[in-house]
Amino acid sequence: MLHWGYDEHNGPAHWKEVFPVANGDRQSPIDIKTEETKYDPSLRPLNPNYDPASAKIILNNGHSTSVEFDDTVNKSVLTGGPLSGTYRLRQIHFHWGSNDEAGSEHAVDGMKYAAELHVVHWNSEKYSSFVEAARQSDGLAVMAVFLQIGECNPQLNKITDRLDTIRIKGKRALFTNFDPSCLLPKSLDYWTYFGSLTVPPLLESVIWIVLREPISVCSEQSAFVRLTAMRMDLGLTFWFKIPASQRQDIVQLAKFRSLLSTAEDEVACCLLRNYRPPQPLKGREVRRN
């Protein structure tokens, strides 16, 4: 396998050839069977506390688009929930599919959402760097938020409106004054389990915190259906009368799909999907608050 990706020749089924831990005992993502989750009264409320000034850049690393934060000090942290100690915000990124029927990494009773946001933190109380923490069983904490097809999400526009400036792999742009809490749902109820990175090197060092309530995102498929219905009502070819700005808004998810997984000097290839399928639970418990 040349370099891992999500295509037929280098996708999740091949990753074990280079990263044997792909068949490990605490791999992610998983399909959360809600009937088998266990209520744990010792689980505390989640307490995200982010400073918008920590946001630094938005980038396309060829596998996803991420917003990177200044993690040299404890300015933006996550505490509470299943965590003991303080976990420092490192980056956020997204996973999506080539159509609205799949795209999330975790599933709930076999149901996949259209996309998934991951908010990545590392245990800055016990470890001195992200790289060191990524090698420890309690080193990382990732909060996952499901994106469900529906109304356009104005908060998400802060990200999707910038994607056309970082279409090519390796491109980055300044991105500050952004508090990722704006992308969290009203309820911070969650499921939690011990897992791994869902991308190579698939390190088994992540405490996963999956929020139960999704946030909304719109995509051209759902918008196209809505507009066609509207056009039917109006009996007019209404589409071309919509100002481009508004047309822009109705294709949030399409903008993720138009990112390139290739660099400047390569043949352009769209990053149409970047999710790993659910992995075996291997006896792990999924707790809920």
Ligand X SMILES: NS(=O)(=O)c1c2ccccc2cc2ccccc12
Closest CB to Zn ion among 118 and 158? 118
Dist CA 143 CA 132 (whole Å) = 20
63 is catalytic: yes
Which residues are 69's β-sheet partners? 55
Minimum CB distance to Zn ion smaller for 90 or for 118: 118
Name which of ligand X, Zn ion, none residue 197 binds, using a CB cut-off of 5 to 8 Å depending on partner kind: ligand X
Question: Is 22 or 223 the residue whose CB approaches Zn ion more closely?
Answer: 22
- Label each residue of 68-123 as H, E or C: EECCCCCCCEEEECCCCCCEEEEEEEEEECCCCCCCCCCEECCEECCEEEEEEEEE
Catalytic residue among 9, 63, 93, 121: 63
63 touches, from Zn ion, ligand X, none (C-beta below 5 to 8 Å by class): ligand X
Under the rule (CB under 6 A), what is the footprint of ligand X? 63-64, 93, 118, 120, 140, 142, 197-199, 206
As measured in angstroms, the least distance from the Cβ of 209 to ligand X is 11
Quote the CA–CA distance of 163 and 203 in Å, as a whole number.
28
Biggest CA-to-CA distance, the chain: 64
CB 191 within 8 A of CB 37: yes
Write the DSSP symbol of residue 153.
-
Per CB under 5 A, which of residues 115..174 are in contact with Zn ion?
118
Residue 276 in contact with Zn ion, rule: CB under 5 A:
no
Report the partner that residue 250 touches, choosing among ligand X, Zn ion, none (CB closer than 5 to 8 A by kind). none
Give whichever of 93 and 255 is closer to ligand X, judged by the CB atom: 93
Q: Are 53 and 176 in contact (CB under 8 A)?
A: yes
Q: Minimum distance from CB of 79 to ligand X (Å)? A: 18
Active-site positions read 63
Site residues, Zn ion (CB under 5 A) = 118
